[in-house]
């Protein structure tokens, strides 16, 4: 048996504002807004689908059971692969995100297969990492320790 990841979900007290971060700062394409009618004792909610890539979608939805920011942000980390870790790091830093780790080589990086990572929190404290084979884009040769 094998799995594929096709959705990652983030529930929020304020999905409209969180969606704007992912659309405007991370430049994810907004696919649609979906209204979920009340049913089976559950209140109505709504959310947004944003395209991460051709195989994975991010759902940011309203949920009456979620209040405030994430209480344990690093429990789950989402990775976004990119060929320019530094550029995306600068974007989220300039947007006011909490930076947990500036761009560095990952512990499993090798000379033959360099891998860089930086870690940040979105506006609600959800943990994300940019990960890629070059800190500054394809062919970028930067000494990141």
Distance CA 66, CA 55 (A): 27
Q: Do domains 7-62 and 73-132 have the same CATH topology?
A: yes
Q: Contacts from 53-58 at CB under 8 Å and sequence distance 24+?
A: 55/4, 55/5, 55/6, 56/5, 56/6, 56/7, 56/8, 57/6, 57/7, 57/8, 57/31, 58/7, 58/8, 58/9, 58/10, 58/22, 58/28
Task: Give me the percent of the chain exceeding a pLDDT of 70.
Answer: 93
126 is written with which tokens?
A: 């959800």
Go through 87-116 and write b for each residue having 16 or more CB atoms within 10 A of its CB, e for each that does not.
bbbebbeeeebeeeeebeeeeeeeeeeebb
pLDDT, one tens digit per residue, over 31-45 is: 999 998 988 888 888
**pLDDT beyond 90 at 140:** no
Q: Lowest-pLDDT range, 8-12, 32-36, 37-41, 101-105? A: 37-41
9 is written with which tokens?
A: 């979900």
- Where do the structural domains in the chain lie, given as residue ranges? 7-62, 73-132
pLDDT value at residue 137? 53
pLDDT, one tens digit per residue, over 106-137 is: 998 998 889 999 999 999 999 999 999 877 65
Class (C level, CATH) for 73-132: alpha beta
The dotted CATH code for 7-62 is 3.10.180.10
């Amino acid at each position: 048996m094998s799995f594929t990841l096709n959705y990652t979900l983030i529930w929020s007290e304020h999905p409209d504002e969180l969606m704007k971060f992912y659309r405007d700062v991370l430049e994810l394409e907004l696919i649609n807004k979906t209204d979920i009618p009340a049913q089976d004792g559950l209140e109505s909610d709504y959310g947004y689908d944003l395209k991460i890539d051709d195989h994975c979608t991010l759902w940011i939805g309203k949920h009456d059971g979620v209040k405030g920011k994430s209480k344990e942000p690093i429990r789950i980390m989402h990775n976004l692969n990119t060929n320019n870790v530094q550029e995306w790091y600068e974007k989220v830093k300039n947007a006011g995100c909490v930076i947990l780790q500036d761009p560095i080589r990952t512990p499993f990086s090798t000379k033959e297969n360099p891998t860089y990572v930086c870690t940040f929190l979105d506006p609600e404290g959800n943990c994300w990492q940019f990960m890629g084979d070059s800190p500054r884009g394809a062919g970028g040769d930067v000494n990141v320790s």
